[in-house]
Amino acid sequence: MESFLISISTVAVAEMGDRTQLLALMLAAHYRKPWPILAGVLCATLANHALAGLVGIRLGRFFTPTVLDWTIGISMVAMALWALKSDTLAADAGRANRASAFIATVIAFFIAEIGDKTQIATVALAAGYSNFLAVVAGTTSGMLLANIPVVFLGKAFSDRLPLKAIHYAAGGLFLILGAVFILRAMRHTP
């Protein structure tokens, strides 16, 4: 349960103001079909985070618990710094593809999520917790929690978000998680 709760909260906060959330905003404004867009976000995120989770589980098996805690702790601190950087998205980034809202969302989200904060967090969480289903379910749920309001409320909602404060909160959450893993590593280091 801990791995699910950490995963959902980490990704929900980290997704605020992220490029994939901005992509959801753009798709919602372009297609004005929230349900197919959310279904596309769900499918793309499940596929992307399942792959990231598998990578994380595999990496977790090759490291000792101490090395794994140090690696995850340091990567979470790096994620904290990355979270402070605001993402932007070109206004016309999705206009070329006039396919259905669902297909466009699946393709765009899957590609945008490659190498993204939330994908890297999924790798790290899966490696740290070795609970594939809980981590992928948590990170996918966190992605949906962050994107549901954006898809339904659109641009009016995004104009009122305190993005700078959200980025600081995400950075703080990653920093806390990093500190927890580093402290665990320090306890195991002779």
Instruction: Spell out the domain ranges in the chain.
Output: 2-188
Amino acid type, 168:
Y
CA 72 from centre of chain: 16
Amino acid at 119: Q
How far, in Å, CA of 14 to CA of 171, rounded?
8
What is the rounded distance in angstroms from the CA atom of residue 163 to the CA atom of residue 15? 11
Nearest-angstrom CA–CA distance, 106 and 27 = 11
CA neighbor of 3 nearest in space, from 190, 182, 180: 180
The alpha carbon dihedral of 75, 79, 80, 81 has a sign of: positive
pLDDT, residue 162, reads 67
Alpha-helix runs per DSSP H in the chain: 2-14, 19-31, 34-62, 65-83, 101-113, 117-129, 132-158, 163-188
Taking the model in full, what pTM does it have? 0.72
- Per-residue pLDDT tens, the chain, 190 aa: give them: 889 999 999 899 888 877 788 788 878 877 878 899 999 999 999 999 999 999 999 988 887 878 878 877 887 788 778 767 765 544 444 443 445 889 989 988 898 888 888 888 999 899 988 899 999 999 999 999 999 998 988 655 555 666 677 667 767 877 887 898 899 889 987 7
